[in-house]
Structure 1
Amino acid sequence: MIYKQSNIILKLAESFGLSFANLFFLHFFSENIPMLSEVLWSAAIVLISLRYGIYFGIVPFCSAVFSSIAFEIGNGGDLYLYLTDLSNMLVISLFFFLLLFTGLSRNSQQERYFDITNGYEEILEEKKILEETLDEALNINETYRKRFLESEDQYADMYEMITALNSTDSDTIFNEMVRIVNQRFTSRQLCLYLISSQGDSIRSKINTNQEGRLKSDYWLDEVPSLIGKVIKGQEHVMFRSREDDEASPAAAGPVFVYGEMRYILALDGIDLNACTSQHIQWLDWCLKWMGSRLSFAYTYEREKNEHQRYPGTGIYQLASFFKRFNAELERAEKIGQPFVIFELKTDRLMISEIDLLMKKQLRELDSAGWDEEAGILYVLLPGVDPANEPAVRERLQNAIRKEVASIT
Structure 2
Amino acid sequence: MKDNTTITIIGGGLAGCEAAWQAAARGASVVLYEMKPHRFSPAHESEALAELVCSNSLRADGLNSAVGLLKEEMRRLDSLVMEAAAATAVPAGKALAVDRQGFAAHITRALEAHPAIEIRRQEVTSLPQASEQAPVILATGPLTSAAMAEELQRISKDNLAFYDAIAPIIDADSLDRAKIYRKSRWDDDTPGDYLNCPLSEEEYTAFLARLMAAPTVPLKDFEEAKYFEGCLPIEVMAARGPETLRFGPMKPVGLAHPESGEMPHAVIQLRAENREETSYNMVGFQTKLSYGAQQEVFRTIPGLEQAEFLRLGSIHRNTFICAPKLLDPSLQLLERPGLFIAGQLSGVEGYVESAAMGLLAGINTAALALGGAPTPPPPAATALGALVRHLTASDAGHFQPSNVNFGLFPPLRQKMRKKERGPFRAKLALELLESWQESLSARG
TM range (shorter): under 0.3
Decide which structure has the larger Cα Rg and report it.
1
Relative contact order (C-alpha < 8 Å, sep 6+): which is higher? 2
| Structure that is richer in helix per residue | 1
TM normalised by structure 2 equals 0.23
TM normalised by structure 1 equals 0.25
